Each structure stands twice: as structure tokens, then as C-alpha cells.
Amino acid sequence: MIQYAKATMNNGLKLIIHQDNSTTMAAINLLYDVGAKDESTGKTGTAHLLEHLMFSGSGNIASYDREVQKAAGENNAFTSNDITNYYIQLPAENLETGLWLESDRMLGLNFTQEAFDIQKNVVIEEYKQRYLNQPYGDIWMLLRPFVYKNHPYRWPAIGSDLSHIENITLDDIKQFYYEHYCPSNAILSIAGNVGKSQCIELVEKWFGTIPRRKNKKRQLPQEPVQVNPGKMEVTRDVPYHELIIAFRMGHRLSPEYYVVDLISDLFAGGKSSILYRHLVINRNMFSKLDAYITGDIDPGMFIIRGRLTRGTEMADAYKEVFKEIEDFISAQPGKYELEKVKNKLESTRQYMHTDIINKAMDLAYHELLGNAGRLNDEIGKYREVSARSIQKTARSLFQLNNSSTLFYYSNNKNQQF
């Protein structure tokens, strides 16, 4: 149980405070309700590039990094398709410095052409390092537009193409910032050795004076119902074939979310899971195999992804995965099996929450989903899932017509390096 207090500033900024006196540190997490899904079609990568620019000076502070360093802090940020999230951890005594820094970035950025050009380059190098210069690095670049036809989940947060990043202008970034980075579109959470009234006072001081701004309303195109199985084949310079199957699933707040999450754990969560035992160990068809959900706020994906062992035919691997799925939906999971994945989920959450950053991040995220208190209810929701509902949900999830399969072939005939 994570205790917390909540407040809302006059300008609409939401604040969540979690007190943890076992630490000497404070963690500040600032979540903006904006992600790659809010970008326009030809300018993908804007949200992420803006995240980079957030470190290149704000209205009153020339160097964000230098000030963090002086205050003995450590910070970072990430951009997903749904959100942009900034966090900083520093000695609790220096909490105010963190709030000063974050509030100034919310008030306004420097937006110099020079910093913009440099960060564009940095992002281009990030794109190359992560997606172009790694074996199997382009799988998500291929998978997203293959599974999504309308919804902006069809591009990755870094941008769908290098040319998109290259074509973004400083004006695009400015416009995006003013449309989305406003107090009422953000959730601030503070965790650590801090007091509630102290936090509220400091947040009032630094954030309360930021004028209210109107943020752009979100209107996202929805995906049509999928009516046919999707199949896509590519060949790449990699040593082994990979098989990736995506099934479309419900959104983050749909009741099936918890059910599908548990199915992914039953499939491939740990060495005792069904697919791992059957296809990696017993049949030796895959050298690695994962099943997981993307966890997106809008309707997301259930992914099965495996790397084939040398000599295994792609068609056989595909057939066997679907045979496993058939076996799975033909009966309800055993009581012990279901109990097992629930136990693991519960303990994983406890391990995560030994860290104040994770607590601050989770509280802010659940507030975005509706209410920070959801965080404490989630384990109960997983516990409630019955064997029957697993079977029922699996039957509708794993329809062939709901699947998109990416056959990622190695160009090496013998699959030998």
C-alpha cells in the first residue's frame, strides 16, 4: 500500500506526494500528458525531439545539467507513444532546486536554433544507434505501421523515418510545446523524505505562478476492426530468423487488460511458463521467446516474439506457436498455474517499489489513468481474474483474424554466421 496525498494548483497542475522517511532522497516525477500519438503525420518524432530540447536551457536557467549537478541530483526523461516523462532524484534537502528547475522548463524554453540543430543531430544518431545499427533493430519500425493503419501508434516515438526528424523545424517544436506543455496537462509527483505541507508550499511557489495555458484537445483516429490475418515478410542481414506475432487487445482501462496481461505471463513469464517450457526447452525451436503486452493507454498489442534455433523452419515455428495457442484455449488454466503468475506479479511490484523514483512514476501514471489510488487497487484486480475469464478472453484475443505476423528472415541460407 503506497500512501499519498493529492492537491491541485489553481492553474490546473496536479500534485501527488508520497512520504518515505526511510530514504534521505527525494524523487520528483513530472509527467506530461503528451506523446508521439499527438504528433501530426508528417512530423513524427516531434515529441521526443522536444524532450531533448528540454535540457538545452529554459527562460531563466542557462544550463539545466549544471544546476542538477550542483544540487547533487541525477535526472532523465523518456518519451513514449502516450506520455513524456521527466524525473529527477536529489538529496531531500535540495527538493526546492528540483522544483525550480522543472517549473522553469514548464514556464518557457530558450528555443535557440543552435541547440535545436544540435539536438536534432543527437536524435538522428540515437535513431541510428538503436534502430539501424543493431541486428533486429528495425522490428518495431516495421511492426507498428503493419498493425495500425489509422491510429498514431503506427509510428514509433523516435519517429517513423530519419527524414521526418530531419524535416522538423524549430517552429514545429515551439508550437508543439505551447500546445501541450501547460500546467493543466501535467502531473507532478514527489516521493521521498519530504513533508506534505512543505511540498505544497514549494509547488505553489514555483509552479503556482505559471499562467494557465490552453492545451490542444486530443482527437485520435481509431482503428477499424481487423478482418483478416496480416502477414508480412522481410529478409535482413541477421544470423537467425525471428517470428513476431501481434494480436490486438483492449485499452489500458478495459476490463480485459488484466486478463491479457496474465495470459502473457502464463505464456512466457519466466522459465516455468508454457511457451518457454514447450518451445524453448522441450522442442528447442526457439533460442529465446517472449510474450508481453505493450501496455498502451489506447488499444494495444499482445506480442509473441521468438528467435528461431538454427535449422528450424519458419513455417514450423509459426504452426507450433498456434498449436500451443489452441491447446491453451481448449482448457482453463490450472489453479496452481494462475496462482503462480499472480504471485509473481505481486512480488515484482514490491521489488519495484523499493525505489522512490518508481513509486513517484507509478503514482503519476495512475493519476493520468484516472486516479493515483488505482495503483493500490491493481493487485486486487489481478487477483480477481478467474480461470474462466482467462479462457474466454484468450478465445477472442487469439483469433487468427486478430493477428499480424512478421516473418523476419535471416539472409543467411544456413543461418550460420
Partner 1 sequence: MNRSKAPRIAKEIKINHIEPFIIKLKNSIPVYMIPTGTQPVVKTDFVFGAGSWWQSKPLVSSATNALLSEGTSKNTAEEIAGKLDYQGVYLNSTSDLDNASVSLYSLTKNLDSILPLISEIIKNPAFPDKEIETYKEHREQSFITESNKVANMARKNFARALYGSGHPYGRSLSVSDFGKLNRKDIGVFHAKHYNSDNCRIIVSGRFNENKLIEKLNEFFGDVDWHASQPKPVFPFRKRPSAKRLVLIPKKNAVQSALRIGCVMFNRTHPDYPGMMVLNNILGGHFGSRLMQNVRQKKGYTYGIGSAVIPLKNSGYFVIVSELAADYQEAAIGEIYRELDKICNKPVSKKELEHTKSYMLGELLRAFDGPFSWSETIKSLIEHEMSTDFYQKISETIQNISPSEILELAQKHLSVNRMYEIVAGNVSEYKPLKYRT
Which positions from 73 through 112 interact with partner 1, judged by CB under 8 A? 73-75, 89-91, 93-94, 96-97, 100, 104, 107
CB of 187 to partner 1, least distance (A): 22
Least separation in angstroms between CB 229 and partner 1 = 28
Minimum CB distance to partner 1 smaller for 115 or for 226: 115
**Contact status, residue 286 vs residue 308, Cβ threshold 8 Å:** yes
- Choices 175-183, 223-231, 281-289, 293-301; region in contact with partner 1 by CB under 8 A: 281-289
Q: Does 120 contact partner 1 by CB under 8 A? A: yes
Smallest gap, in angstroms, from Cβ of residue 102 to partner 1? Answer: 12
Which residues on neighbouring strands pair with residue 7, listed in sequence order?
15
Amino acid letter, residue 172: D
In terms of CB distance, is 277 or 392 closer to partner 1?
A: 277
> Smallest distance from the beta carbon of 113 to partner 1, in angstroms?
13
Q: Are 57 and 135 in contact, with CB atoms under 8 Å apart?
A: no
Where in 283-322 is the site for partner 1 (CB under 8 A)?
Answer: 284, 287-288, 307, 309-310
CB of 124 to partner 1, least distance (A): 8
Distance CA 260, CA 282 (A): 25
Question: Which residue, 188 or 249, is less far from partner 1 as judged by CB?
Answer: 188
In this structure, what are the phi and psi dihedrals at residue 295, rounded to the nearest 5 degrees?
A: 70, 25
Residue 72 found at the interface with partner 1 (CB under 8 A): yes
Closest CA to 157 of 216, 56, 83, 250: 83
> How many whole angstroms separate alpha carbon 280 and alpha carbon 309?
9
**Residue 129 found at the interface with partner 1 (CB under 8 A):** yes
Judged by CB under 8 A, the chain residues 320 through 339 that form the site for partner 1 are 336, 339
Which of 126, 161, 179, 256 touches partner 1 (CB under 8 A)? 126
Task: Return the number of the residue (76 or 228) whose C-beta is nearest partner 1.
Answer: 76
**Which residues, 6 or more positions from 339, have their beta carbon under 8 angstroms from its beta carbon?**
none
Tell me which residues in 348-387 interact with partner 1 (CB under 8 A).
348, 350-351, 353-356
Whether the Cβ atoms of residue 144 and residue 156 lie closer than 8 Å to each other = yes
Nearer to partner 1, 339 or 370 (CB): 339
Does 268 participate in binding partner 1 (rule CB under 8 A)?
no
Interface with partner 1 (CB under 8 A), residue from 8, 42, 78, 132: 132
**Whole-number minimum distance, CB 230 to partner 1, in Å?**
26
Give the total of residues touching partner 1 (CB under 8 A): 86
- Where helices occur in 306-373 by DSSP H, the ranges are 314-330, 335-352, 356-369
Residues 144-203 that bind partner 1 (CB under 8 A): none
Contacts of 26 (CB under 8 A, 6+ apart): 89, 90, 91, 92, 94, 95, 98, 190, 191, 192, 193, 194, 356
Taking CB under 8 A as the binding criterion, the range among 78-86, 171-179, 345-353, 384-392 that sits at the site for partner 1 is: 345-353
Inter-helix orientation angle 335-352/374-384, to 10° = 170
CA triple 117-65-67, angle to 5 deg = 135
Distance, CA of 138 to CA of 155 (rounded, Å): 12
Rounded least distance, CB 57 to partner 1, Å:
11
Residue 119 as a binder of partner 1 (CB under 8 A): the answer is: yes
Longest dimension (CA), the chain: 67
Listed residue (45, 33, 404, 407) closest to 223, CA to CA: 404
Residue 255 or residue 311: which is nearer to partner 1 going by CB?
311
Q: Least distance to partner 1 from the beta carbon of 297, Å?
A: 27
Of the ranges 34-42, 235-243, 313-321, 393-401, which one interacts with partner 1 (CB under 8 A)? 235-243
Element containing residue 99 per DSSP (H, E)? helix 95-107
Quote the CA–CA distance of 4 and 207 in Å, as a whole number: 20
| CB of residue 188 to partner 1, shortest distance in Å | 16
DSSP state of 353: T
Integer Cα distance of 44 and 132 in angstroms: 17
Of 14-53, binders to partner 1 (CB under 8 A) are 20, 22-25
Q: Which is nearer to partner 1, 25 or 188 (CB)?
A: 25
Where helices occur in 370-409 by DSSP H, the ranges are: 374-384, 387-397
347 contacts partner 1 (rule: CB under 8 A): yes
Q: Which amino acid is at 342?
A: K
